[in-house]
Copies of this chain bind each other. A is one copy, B any other.
Amino acid sequence: MVISVIGTGAIGGFYGGMLAHAGQEVHFLLNSDYDWVKEHGLTIDSPNLGIIRLPRVKAYSKATDMPPSDVILVCLKSIQNEKLLPDLLPPLLKKDSLVVLIQNGLGVEKDVANLFPEVSIAGGIARVSASKVSPGVIRHFDHGRLELGSYNPAHSRRLEEVAVTFQTTGLPIVPVADLQALRWRKLVWNITFNGLSVVLNTTTDQLVGHPETARLCREIMLEVIAGATACGMELPSSFADEMMAYTQRMRPYSPSMKVDFDQKRPLEIQYIYQNPVAAARAAGYEMVRVDMLAKQLAFLNEKNGY
């Protein structure tokens, strides 16, 4: 099985690296880190998994140099898909390629399916704490579960085979029946803490540690839960309490959108905020607080030049 990774950051480097370490054939497309990785390879530094060194990996700076692939992991920021995939994806496609979007938010599969109507699309939700600390070096903090779901149910059998191959990594990589329900579930945390940490310039511990913002976090979570429920993915309101308790136990954490903002990168507002707001609205529910947060983020994003 030929596997390619588009976007070798924290997520692409971690899952691609773990697959290569397990003996799979993995081709990595890189941008700014290409020279370094070509020479030094990849390293995954993890308290649980140890230090995994891959001194030689198949690194590429151009998609046109890469082989047609059975599985293509797209690990770009979701908002880059529309701009980059029309060039990057076609050279990797062959009959029966499966494109797996390991990205945040709602609606990524649909937008890529619109760009490539003939291609099999799946989505992945990565439950992993990892960040790229320098070129080719991924620091893995915790977790690693990857949930994979087909966009088109006709391809779910194919996805199950892919999941079996991916399980050679030793990580819990599991096919799921209803990816959209899991995307909403993940949005409960992501919408709340990504946005508030950017707007209030703070970390998760501060947000749940201050009584006024703790109440606000819970209210936003309940709104997302109601939005999910309106869209047919029922979630119990007790899930908000679970997520609050989980966040209170976490170490102080800067969500990925806060890291993007601080580094003046564009924010994934469309997929994490605007698409869920629009989906809930179409189902008759107005996520007022989420929409307000989206507008505040759009303002700040524009100040960063986007």
Query: How many Å from the CB of A7 to the closest CB on chain B?
Result: 27
Interface status of A289 (Cβ within 8 A of chain B)? yes
**How many A residues have CB within 8 A of the partner chain?**
23
- Interface 9-mer from A41-49, A81-89, A113-121, A209-217: A209-217
CB neighbours of A196 from chain B (8 A): 296
- Copies of this chain assembled into the complex: 2
The answer to whether residues A216 and B288 also contact, given A199-B200, A300-B200 and a CB cut-off of 8 A, is no
Query: How many Å from the CB of A267 to the closest CB on chain B?
Result: 12
Interface status of A66 (Cβ within 8 A of chain B)? no
Query: How many Å from the CB of A98 to the closest CB on chain B?
Result: 36
Interface status of A182 (Cβ within 8 A of chain B)? no
The answer to whether residues A212 and B292 also contact, given A200-B199, A200-B300, A300-B200 and a CB cut-off of 8 A, is no
Q: Which residues of A contact B (CB under 8 A)?
A: 196, 199-200, 202, 206-207, 210, 212-213, 215-216, 219, 288-289, 292, 294-296, 298-300, 302-303
User: In the complex, given contacts A196-B296, A288-B288, what are 14 additional A-B residue pairs having Cβ atoms less than 8 angstroms apart?
Assistant: A199-B199, A200-B296, A202-B303, A206-B299, A210-B298, A210-B299, A212-B294, A212-B302, A213-B295, A213-B296, A216-B295, A219-B292, A288-B289, A289-B292
